[in-house]
Amino acid sequence: MFDFEKLDIYRKAKSFNSNVRTFINSVNLDPTTKDQLRRASLSIVLNIAEGSGRFSKADRRNFYVISRSSVFECVAILDVMKDESVLNEQAYLAYYSQADELSRMLYAMIKNLG
C-alpha cells in the first residue's frame, strides 16, 4: 500500500471526485464545463497522492496548495452551475460541504508543513 492510500484526506478526495463524476455524467453539460470540473476534481486527488511522495516539506506543501486550489476551482464551477440552474441548491450544498471539509483538511496539512 502506498502512503497516500492511508490518508483520510485521500479517501475523502476520491469520494468527492466520484460524486462529481457521477453528477457530470448525469446532466447535459457543455464540453468545456464538463471537462474543467472533471479535471479539477481529479486534480485534488492526484496532487494529494503526488505530494505525499515528495521528500521535502516544501515540495509536499506545494502539491497540497495546488490540491486546495483545485477544491476552490470546483466550488466556483459548481456555484456557476447553481446560478445557471444546472445544479439545484440542495445538491450544491452537499458538494459544498464535502469541498469545505477537504479545504479545511488540506489547510491544516499545509499549515503543519509551513
The model's pLDDT over 37-84, given as tens digits with 9 standing for 90+, comes to: 999 999 999 999 999 999 999 999 999 999 999 999 999 999 999 999
Q: How far apart are CA 69 and CA 86, in angstroms?
A: 23
Per-residue pLDDT at 35 exceeds 90: yes
The alpha-helical segments, DSSP class H, found in 1-114 are 8-26, 31-52, 57-83, 89-113
Per-residue pLDDT at 93 exceeds 90: yes
CA distance to 11, 24, 46, 59, 113, per residue, from 6 (Å)? 8, 28, 14, 19, 18
Give the domain CATH number at 8: 1.20.1440.60
Q: In 3-state terms, what secondary structure has residue 70?
A: helix
- State the sign of the Cα–Cα–Cα–Cα dihedral 99, 39, 12, 59: negative
Task: Report pLDDT for 114.
Answer: 86
Q: How many domains does the chain have?
A: 1
The CA-based dihedral angle spanning residues 103, 48, 17, 3, taken in that order and rounded to the nearest 10 degrees: -120
Per the structure, the complete domain to which residue 92 belongs is given by 3-113
Quote the crossing angle between the two packed helices 57-83 and 31-52, to the nearest 10°: 160
The model's pLDDT over 97-110, given as tens digits with 9 standing for 90+, comes to: 999 999 999 999 99
